[in-house]
Structure 1
């Protein structure tokens, strides 16, 4: 007997003693391991990249930047998604006169006047990197930008890792403790949705009544050749009565995770299945 979801019990065939996929050596275990490794690697890269971006963008506010008094020598207005203004600055650093430019991220109308004195934070290792106090503009938001937009994909990857872990544990439990059984069914209606496949099958229950159920899978599923409507197919299956099952082609080495759905009486009467 094969116990599927929603109490559906199908009649199992007498299975020939052929080698069956084993969890420890299965492609399924290797696939989940590779997938988890890629997610963990992406998490690490994202975390490191976000941390570096946050540190670099916030360094003028807490790092080793040196505060100096600078004189505004010029104003240059330009247009980039609105009016912008470049200031020409001159300051004395370690006994030498230096000049640089600074974008205040605002129109020149609100910029400090030419000849006025401003306070600037200067990177001692790269004097062209300055931050004028009171005219930080978008720079104050950069650390929050890197932090927030780093957390969003980080949270997504963590959720994906949890889902993958749950699926991994479910398939490991099925293949480690479940029993492979052989099922013969008739293809009622195959339906493919891009990379996700679903095939409607009909098989006999314990009373010999034909029952319809759907098998959902990714890619080509457990068959080397796509079955046609009316064709009889047989495959190995492990199920514990939930929506998750693992199937394999008899004598094959590949284990394919699938989902099972059983139509209700309304769906059968309405012909929407």
Structure 2
């Protein structure tokens, strides 16, 4: 009986370290942040918890009266609507092209596209900031040769968002390309051989075999990319500080500004949970759509 009990408890012993780490560094901090979102915690409250006051839903109500927060929500959805499809489509396209050419040149291209994904975001953002410089920056210097001059990449509210999206898409393509490439190479060759015998060309094979076989990979990349764009922070923080006139401010950056710059921790925690709820809803919608496609 003791041996049987030991055998039943052994699997839990293996996963115990992961569960403990999850509790200490994820679940408990989330619970604490949730409690803080209903308080007026600021920098004085960190030194003396007795000064912390319970404010109920005031933080959440004030959030949706805050024009900067509403603008941050709009900016974040702008990033998602443009950025997510671009990352998925470009990553998939590049993976198909690289898989089509099985030689050293295409292997080198795989390295070229993957390198930005493993490069430090801060370093990349600093370099791109110089490239976007309207006075002598690389991009404007190239465009001037085609008669286009004076583009204010990061100084104009419209072009600033596009500029950040270009950088973020460029950096995100590599990792997702490898995911698609691994999935493509897992498709049985017999499917393509049968299609060739039936007279199917490359495009027909891609449309009717490759893309349908990548349904789960496309779903996975879409969900992870969507979550990443909801948390869009590094690029606007380093390159624009949310400007000009808050045109590039994301919800994640708004939370940082209120929590770590203004020391309004309760208000920032409320904003983070609004973002958390949006991520959960978007992910559940994706899962629902995936289940419908599978006919479940």
Which structure has the higher relative contact order (CA within 8 Å, separation 6+)?
2
Q: By percentage of residues, which structure has more strand?
A: 1
TM-score by length of 1: 0.25
Tell me which structure has the larger Cα radius of gyration: 1
TM-score by length of 2: 0.23
Q: By percentage of residues, which structure has more helix?
A: 2
